[in-house]
Amino acid sequence: MTDRKPDPVAGKTVGDRIRQAAATVGASVESAADAAATTVPGGAARAAGDLAAARTVAAEKGGALVRSGASGIAAGIGVANETLTGFAGNLDWSAIDPTRYLYAGTRGVGRGLEEARLVWESIPEQLRALGPEEVAKRLDGFDWSHVVPHSKGGGNEAANGIFEIAGLNRSRGAEQMTGAEIEAAARVLSEAAFTAALEKVASRVFVGAAVGAAVACVVSGLEHGLACQRGEITREEMYRRLGCAVAASAGAGAAISGVMAVVALAFPALIPLAAPLMMPLAVLGFCAVGGKVVRLGKGWYELYREVSGAGLPDLLPVRKLPEWYGRRCFCGNLPRTRSPNDRAIDLARISLAVRIGRICLAAGPTAFRPRFIRSGQRDRKRPSAISKGKSARRSAGRRCRLC
């Protein structure tokens, strides 16, 4: 007979089997709960840490973007201030040459200054804000057309005319202008003003971008170059940050200058009000950029001192000036009387002369031998006291470069 292994299940009741299965399930549930209690807090902590790190990185990048665009904002405000100031000056009738408007369409008979001003105001305000040169350029080929011609009793007042293309005006002859012709002439003027305004906005955007990029290139170059020299960032990182800063600054400058030009030309009535407000903003922007440049310059100077170990040249202190001032120079002459403002220059010269003297002494006694001895002319007679006196009298009025 073959021996059979005992079946562990055999002989157990249904209740025993149920209790064994429940114990197994309970142990599994307990181990799963322990694992969950260990994993979930750790995962939550990691998620919170990742979120905090992401927020920190976003804040740093946002702050860096704002700082890099600060130069562009200041440049854009400066360009906008210059633009609005120019617009405000161009809209001032007292600064305009009234000659063209005094004799426009009058056949040599001048109208009054008040009527000339009204003729000038018949030009769209957006075009007038761009300046007399732009007005003359856009109205080249236009005539002042009379609504009611002279032959039918029309006068030279501003209400009886409009700027119109010269060919249309002359082909009409002595006929009176119709309402459709007046609307067509006004529409042509508006289109010319719109085209000129678009070109001006585009030029202001370009100027704002160029100025912003130039300012950011200088400021960011100083900032990131200093960080690279200190070992805080690599050279590649410096180039990347510099490019991002220049791009952000150019975009900020272009946006601010373009938006201000668009708003000013879309609502010309706001130009006299906005122009004075831009000046304080431009001054604040200039001060902010200037302060940053000063701080960066201080950082570069400290770096120079760390690298050189000396800093500025070690000159004689100013308080020692009286004991040096008035002594005879190395050429035997007394220094000329100098003003107090030139004492620093005198100190630098004296210190340089002292250093040169020390170098010559370190070079050996041969450096102070007479020229004829150094050149090998030992058979030449040494100068006597009489010849020395004659030489001294001849060179009494001469001075060296030091004194």
pLDDT at 334: 47
Q: On the CB side of 196, how many CA atoms lie within 13 Å of its CA?
A: 24
pLDDT at 275: 86
Return the closest-CA partner of residue 78 out of 219, 207, 202. Answer: 207
Is the model's pTM score more than 0.75? no
pLDDT at 229: 87
Return the closest-CA partner of residue 174 out of 151, 195, 155. Answer: 151
**Domain map of the chain by residue range?**
99-306, 318-376
Question: Beta strand pairing status for 142-146 and 161-165?
Answer: antiparallel
pLDDT at 107: 79
Q: What is the mean pLDDT of each run of 10 residues along the chain (403 residues)?
A: 47 59 63 61 58 53 53 88 92 89 84 90 92 91 89 87 90 88 92 94 94 92 90 91 91 92 91 87 88 89 74 42 46 50 63 67 50 44 50 49 47
Could you tell me the maximum CA-CA distance found in the chain, to the nearest angstrom?
Answer: 152
pLDDT at 369: 45
Is 3 strand, coil or helix? coil
pLDDT at 402: 47
Return the closest-CA partner of residue 71 out of 293, 298, 261, 301. Answer: 293
Please state the three-class secondary structure of 272-335 as a single string: HHHHHHHHHHHHHHHHHHHHHHHHHHHHHHHHHHHHHCCCCCCCCCHHHHHHHCCCCCCCCCCC
pLDDT at 111: 86
